[in-house]
Amino acid sequence: MTDISMTSAQSQSQTGKIVLRWLLYIALGLFALFYLMPLFVMITTSLKSLDEIRTGDLIALPREVTFDAWRTAWSGACTGIQCEGVRPYFWNSILIAIPAVAISTLLGAMNGYVVAQWRFRGANIIFSLMLFGCFIPFQVVLLPMARTLGIMGIAGTIPGLIFVHVIYGLGFTTLFFRNYYVTIPAELTKAAKVDGAGFFRIFWSIFLPLSLPIIVVTVIWQFTQIWNDFLFGVSFSQAGTQPVTVALNNIVNSTTGVKEYNVDMAAAIIAALPTLFVYVVAGKYFIRGLTAGSVKG
Amino acid sequence: MTKWLEENTPKLVLAPSFIAVLIFVYGFIAWTAWVSFTRSRLLPRYDIEGLIQYERLFASPRWDTALNNLFVFGILFILIAMVLGLILAILLDQNIRTEGAIRTIYLYPMALSMIVTGTAWKWILNPGLGVEAMVRGWGFESFTFDWLVNPDMAIYTVVIAAIWQSSGFVMALFLAGLRSVDGEIIKAAQVDGIPTWRIYTAIIIPSMAPIFLSAFIVLSHLAIKSFDLVIALTGGGPGYATDLPATYMYAMAFSRGDIGQAASSAMIMMMVVFAIVVPYLYSELRSKDD
């Protein structure tokens, strides 16, 4: 045992190690402060009155906690001419996100199942072409999409935004399921086929029950993407159908009246709450989606 | 008939998605490319006129600013986020007892919308009541930190906010990479008495080359597509000092009514993305077929 024969040199290096360890924890703590600071400032600012914001310190705790800003942000703040807060837009985001996530996940599961387990000639090329769609800058489709939505009669509507999110989410959802299903041995499908099970039967009774983890990853990924989307929301919505990110930006940049920083911060937190909540309860899956989305395969 | 149906079910299931992608990705790119060669203004026109839109684009000082900003922002953002991410990953890789909690803290900004991030930093960095006012309140009366409203410095506030948002994600990538390095080699090196920093610089980091590449691809992709953050943080201002290609394109398409410029700037953005992503995807897909 080294403990018994510890020389003074060793004990010195031991204290060195402890000092190093302390420095390590201090460094980690400082970085943690850097990441937490904006959230802290947002929360405290949202709980202060405007007077206190003007006279006080950015990082000071509120002297008097008031929820007025939250009330205004939720149901009274102005996004341009309307003053209904973020509530209707929060609701829009939900109406957009839920169907778009459900449809794109279901289609992705079916596509991934075909590409991974029912390979036919050209399947790989099709998959590559779909995958490629994940990487285009969406600016390149904005103009024709605006016209197409107009022709389809769903410009500026919530179904229009759902449609856009489904289309441009397909590449990623297909990728997620494909990468998950290729790890399932092809013999399983073959054996089921021998037993007389068809395409859909095998999907329903063999693949879908195995898919819970990847469904969670895909749903979280899609939900975060769609909830946080701004580009499609601002391009393809009109007054009344805007998602919450667009409403938040309008509140913050609305030039009428006094600048209410506390209301801005409360509105920002409200807009962030759903994805933050998902991250806190299912962080593991969130990270898996992030890394799967970037380091494919 | 049923036999045919049975044999072709997989193709039929894949077909709608594939057709959708063909139309809404490739067809739309073709449309934008076509229009970028026309004289389209408020309404699209379809007679090819050559490169006039691209000539206008590169003659425009605003586009020049946007490209310069992309360059400055892209390089700083990618470089700092990678270095910071690597440092955080290495620090966290030292058997930290509270690793899970710390990781959660470093990574949560990634769950936020860029609009939320922009709103928060806009408040923190505003000179009147934010950091500048706070430090002045502590007695440093001449302290100035007005980057947000200073045309020469505003682009750096975008860099700060973008790094805050994305560096935790780079950390997660690198941490996964550090953990996947063969433990036997590290143990052998430790037995040989090689100091820890040497183990990192000579063994672990070189073996993570593919992760550096992925991080680079993801970050450059994020940089080129950056739109929301600029809109929320600076609105492209002061003036158009923080315009990026994405905000330029949007302004041309939806507020200036200049479809030709919008299309040509979008095409340039796509070419930049392709120049980075295509070689990467190609090598990835090839290595998978082998």
B52 occurs within a structural domain: no
ipTM of the complex: 0.88
Quote the CA–CA distance of A11 and A268 in Å, as a whole number: 52
| pLDDT-wise least confident of A161-165, B73-77, B211-215, B266-270 | B211-215
CB contacts, 8 Å: B119 with chain A: 248-249, 252, 264-265, 267-268
Looking at the fold, whether A148 and A267 belong to one and the same domain comes out as yes
- Residues 6+ away with beta carbon under 8 Å from B203: B181, B185, B186, B189
Residues of A with CB below 8 A from B20's CB? 167, 170
For residue A215, being part of any structural domain is answered with: yes
Residue A219 lies in a domain: yes
Average pLDDT over residues A196-221: 90
Instruction: Assess whether pLDDT exceeds 50 at residue A295.
Output: no
Task: State whether A155 and A37 are in the same domain.
Answer: no
CB–CB of B107 and A283 under 8 A? yes
Do the Cβ atoms of B10 and A132 come within 8 Å? Answer: no
- Please report, for the domain that includes residue A172, its CATH number: 1.10.3720.10
Does A181 reside within a domain? yes
Contact (Cβ atoms closer than 8 angstroms) between residue A245 and residue B115: yes
Give the three-class secondary structure for B13.
Answer: helix
Asked whether residue A139 falls in the same domain as residue A62, the answer is no
If asked whether residues A45 and A177 sit together in one domain, one would say no
Q: What is the pLDDT of residue A242?
A: 92
> pLDDT tens digit string along B81-105?
999 999 999 999 888 888 888 988 9
Q: Which residues pair with A237 in a beta bridge?
A: A156
Whether B288 shows a pLDDT value over 80: the answer reads no
Q: Which domain, by its residues, includes A40?
A: 8-66
Closest approach of chain B CAs to the CA of A65, in angstroms?
Answer: 19
Same domain (yes/no): A28, A135: no
Structurally, how many domains does chain B consist of?
Answer: 1
| Sign of CA pseudo-dihedral B201, B202, B206, B211 | negative
Over range A192-201, report the average pLDDT.
87
Q: What is the pLDDT of residue A196?
A: 85
The mean per-residue pLDDT over the stretch A212-241 comes to 91
Look at residue A10 in the predicted model and tell me its pLDDT.
64
In a domain, residue A32? The reply is yes
**Token pair of A177 as six digits:** 């399921």
Put simply, the chain A residues between 59 and 118 with a CB less than 8 A from any chain B CB are: 59, 107, 110-111, 114-115, 118
CA distances from B158 to A7, A33, A107, A113, B223 (A): 54, 20, 36, 41, 10
Which of B167 and B127 is assigned the larger pLDDT?
Answer: B167
Q: Please give the pLDDT value at position A40.
A: 93
- What pLDDT score does B289 carry? 53
Residue A206 and residue A118 in one domain:
yes
The better pLDDT of the pair A43, B207 is held by A43
Cβ <8 Å between B124 and A283:
no
Residue B252 belongs to some domain of the structure: yes
Kindly tell me if the per-residue pLDDT of A297 is higher than 90: no
Please indicate if any CB of chain B lies within 8 Å of the CB of A131. yes
In a shared domain, residues A48 and A109: no
Task: Give A60's contacts (C-beta < 8 A, 6+ positions apart).
Answer: A44
pLDDT of residue B281: 75
A255 pLDDT band, cuts 50/70/90, is low
Band of pLDDT at residue A2, cut at 50, 70 and 90: very low
Asked if the model's pLDDT at residue A87 lies above 50, the reply is: yes
Is A230's CB within 8 Å of B228's CB?
A: yes
Domain count of chain A? 2
**Side-chain-facing half-sphere of A65: CA atoms under 13 Å:** 3
Q: Stretch B182-200: mean pLDDT, rounded?
A: 84
Q: Which residue of A has its CA nearest to B9?
A: A199
How many other C-beta atoms can be found within 10 angstroms of the C-beta atom of residue A50? Answer: 16
Question: How high is the pLDDT of residue A54?
Answer: 81
Contact A219, A281 (CB under 8 A): no
| pLDDT reported for residue A293 | 58
Query: How do residues B213-246 score in pLDDT, each as one tens digit?
Result: 888 888 988 888 889 999 999 888 788 889 999 9
**B43 part of a folded domain:** no
pLDDT band at A9 (very low <50, low <70, confident <90, very high): low
Whether B108 is covered by a domain: the verdict is yes
Contact between A41 and B231 using a beta-carbon 8 Å cutoff: no
Look at residue A55 and tell me whether its pLDDT is greater than 90.
Answer: no
CATH code of the domain in which B282 resides: 1.10.3720.10
Asked if pLDDT for residue A135 goes beyond 90, the answer is no
**Chain A neighbors of B10, CB-CB under 8 A:** 114, 118, 120, 199
Distance CA B254, CA B272 (A): 22
Find the domain containing B89 and state its range: 61-289
